[in-house]
Structures are given as C-alpha cells and as structure tokens.
Amino acid sequence: MNIFSRRNPTVNEDAVMRALSTVQEPELGGDLVSRKMIKDVKIDGGRVSIVVDLTTPACPLKDQIENEVRAAVMQVNGVQEVAVEFTATVRQRPGLFDKASVPGVAHVLAVASGKGGVGKSTVATNLAVALMQEGARVGLLDADVYGPSAPIMLGLKNQQPMVQNNKMVPLEAHGIKTISVGFMVPENQPLIFRGPIISSMLRQFLYEVDWGELDYLVVDLPPGTGDIQLTLSQAIPLSGSVIVTTPQDVAMADVTRGIEMFKKLNVPILGLIENMSYFCCPNCGERSEIFSHGSAARASEKFGVPFLGEIPLSLAIREGGDTGNPAVTSNQPEAYASAFRDVARNLAGRISVEAFAQV
C-alpha cells in the first residue's frame, strides 16, 4: 500500500520527499528517507502531516529532528503548515557468538563502577525509570548480589516474585519490571556466593524470568573489576556498558580499570556518568564542588569514550532511594529529575548508534 496520499495537487508529494531527504539523522548519519524513518506522509491542502519513526523513544535529538523536518518541508511550494509525529522502533540486539539473546529483550546494558560508594545503583534505578518515562519498555536486573538495593529503591521490600509456567514473574514498580536476589533472601541474611554460583544465578535471572517484550534491560552490576565482574560481563549478551564515577582522583583511577576491563571483553562502552558532580545549597543556591568536578568529562576525552552527563549531589536523591521513590519521579527541583532524563536520553542515543554500527 502506498503510504503517501495526494489530496491537493498544489503540493507535490515527490517534492515533500525530496525535502525530507535533505534532513540528516544527527547521530546515525544518512538522511531520514534512505534510512526508512519516514513512516507516513499525508497531504491535506496546504497541510502536510509526517510520521517519523525514531530508533528509540528516548531520542535525545528529537526536537532537532522535528525542527529540521518542519523547516525543510515548509520550503516546498504550496505548504502552509507541517505537523510532525513520532513513533519509535528499537532495533533488536543480536546475540554474540555463544551468548544467546534474552528472549523479547532488544538491549541488555550494564551499569558498572570501578569502586563502591559512587551511587551506581541509584543511577541505574533512576536511568531505568527515566527511560520508561520517555516511552520505552524497561526492566531492571539487580545483579549486585552482595548489596542488592532494588527492593528498597523501588519500594518493593518484603515482596517475592511469583512463578508461572516454570518462569519467575518480575515484580513491577514505577512502570518498570525488576528482579533482584534481594527478593529471594531475608534482608538481614549475608549473601555468600562464589563466582560460578553467581553466574548461574544471573543466567536464571536472564533466561528463566518472564521479562516479556523490553526495549532495555538495565543490569546493575556489582562494583569493582574482579572475577565476578568478568564472569558476569562474559555471561551476558551486552549491548554496552555504562561506568558511573564520582569526580575524586581515587574514583577516576578505578574508572581506568573499568574501561580497560570492558575493552578486553569487547563490550562497547556507551559512556561515563559523573555522579555527585556538585552540590547546590537548598537555602542560598551556592554551588560547591565537594568532590571536585569535571573529571569524568576529561576522562571521556582522554579515553575516547562518550560523556553522558553529570548528576548533582542532593538530599532529595538520597531520600528518594531510601523511600522507594526514585528521584526521577519527583517534581522537586532539588531532585534533579531533568538531569537523570538528559543522561537517559544520551544513553539511548548511544545504544542506537552502536546497534546500527553493527548492521
């Protein structure tokens, strides 16, 4: 069926398509027409309606694409108004060699840190919810087996997943699905596991959980770069990794180790995130760079990996994690929900770039 309909002979549909072919996809390169991102064009008199199919609902450059589409089509003779709508199709991440893709999951991405105490789980949780808020279908796999935090951060303490048709059914909160070892053991019980047991447990969480259809499965890895991290990274068909750090020199030294680990494992590094980047006094508004500032941006330039953004230090972010209400769900300015959303959009963009680069 021809998706283009002519209702007004004064507006030429071929001219509309030629105009759209001048609009470049700003991250992937190539024009929207050749990339088959124009899904529908309707002409009604001088009004042209266009549907653009993005590579992710969390596209960080959606506004730019809309503005350029509108500007290009307005140059067509007879066009008086341009309406732009968006859909999104997240390209499936293929399996890697002996690593089978997780059924129904387009992308599995790891959130890692070179050391503990940098707020990795807080960032992972908020990124997962932020991607959902942008329209993506998202799951969170809490693989931090020694310090599982998803039950607390998502407000799911003392709950357990059900089993249906021989598969675990993930719990849901704030619009995302989640599984954590914290759901399986009492809160005060120490988790003492060896590497092979952890690897087996993770495979169960990947392949024996009914995740349904997901665009992104965010995996919160344990901190560090030891045997456990290597085992987990090798076991998961990762689309890429994100490294969370804080600005201090001691944290940045561990970032270097994390980058080298993922490079040796041939896992794409989607980018660095600087958490606790600065603090703004809620009373006077004065900014303090308690742990220094900008180290992650400089490291990204040094190692040639993307810088996804920075998250401030905030009491509201901490309180949100403790109460099961992630900061990104808050409308308090001091919760910095917009900062998490900006980082999530940048991350989604990088995933699309990596996915198309492998085609």
Q: Long-range contact list for 19-25, CB < 8 A, 24+ apart?
A: 19/72, 19/73, 19/75, 19/76, 20/50, 20/69, 20/72, 20/73, 22/72, 23/65, 23/68, 23/69, 23/72, 24/68, 25/65
The reply to whether 93 falls in a domain is: no
How far the first Cα of the chain sits from its last, in Å, is: 27
Contact partners, residue 194, CB within 8 Å, separation at least 6: none
Give the residue among 155, 105, 110 at the shortest CA–CA distance from 321.
Answer: 155
- pLDDT mean across residues, the chain: 88
Q: What are phi and psi of 205, to 5 degrees?
A: -65, -30
Three-state secondary structure call for residue 200: helix
112 and 78, same structural domain? no
Tell me, what's the pLDDT at 2? 47
129 and 83, same structural domain? no
298, amino acid identity: R
165 and 44, same structural domain? no
Tens-digit pLDDT profile for residues 159-203: 999 999 999 999 999 999 999 988 987 777 766 766 677 778 888
305 and 251, same structural domain? yes
The reply to whether 97 falls in a domain is: no
168 and 75, same structural domain? no
Tell me, what's the pLDDT at 75? 94
Burial class (CB in 10 A: 0-12, 13-18, 19+), 99: middle
The number of CA neighbours under 13 Å toward the Cβ of 282 is 9
Strands (E), 191-268: 214-220, 240-245
Give the residue among 237, 236, 219 at the shortest CA–CA distance from 95.
Answer: 237
CATH number, residue 270: 3.40.50.300
Tens-digit pLDDT profile for residues 103-140: 899 999 999 998 888 999 999 999 999 999 999 999 99
312 and 194, same structural domain? yes
CA distance 324 to 346: 25
CATH number, residue 20: 3.30.300.130
Tell me, what's the pLDDT at 274? 95
Tens-digit pLDDT profile for residues 5-14: 445 457 888 9
Instruction: Tokens for 1, please give them.
Output: 């069926």
Tell me, what's the pLDDT at 101? 80
Domain end, chosen from 39, 60, 88, is at: 88
The reply to whether 99 falls in a domain is: no
Give the residue among 135, 175, 125 at the shortest CA–CA distance from 55.
Answer: 135
57 and 164, same structural domain? no
199 and 120, same structural domain? yes
Instruction: Tokens for 308, please give them.
Output: 């996804």
CA distance 168 to 210: 6
Domain end, chosen from 27, 61, 88, is at: 88
Tell me, what's the pLDDT at 93? 65
Tell me, what's the pLDDT at 5? 46
Instruction: Let me know: does 296 contact 272? Beta carbons within 8 Å.
Output: yes
User: Tokens 């992308």 sit at which residue?
Assistant: 107
Q: Long-range contact list for 197-201, CB < 8 A, 24+ apart?
A: 198/145, 198/228, 198/231, 198/232, 199/231, 199/232, 199/235, 201/145
19 and 82, same structural domain? yes
Tell me, what's the pLDDT at 36? 94
169 and 282, same structural domain? yes
Domain end, chosen from 34, 57, 88, is at: 88
265 and 124, same structural domain? yes
The count of structural domains within the chain is 2
Instruction: Let me know: does 100 contact 235? Beta carbons within 8 Å.
Output: no
Q: Which domain holds residue 15?
A: 4-88
Tell me, what's the pLDDT at 96? 54
Instruction: Give pLDDT < 70 ranges for the chain.
Output: 1-9, 93-100, 190-191, 193-195, 358-359
133 and 217, same structural domain? yes
The reply to whether 290 falls in a domain is: yes
The reply to whether 95 falls in a domain is: no
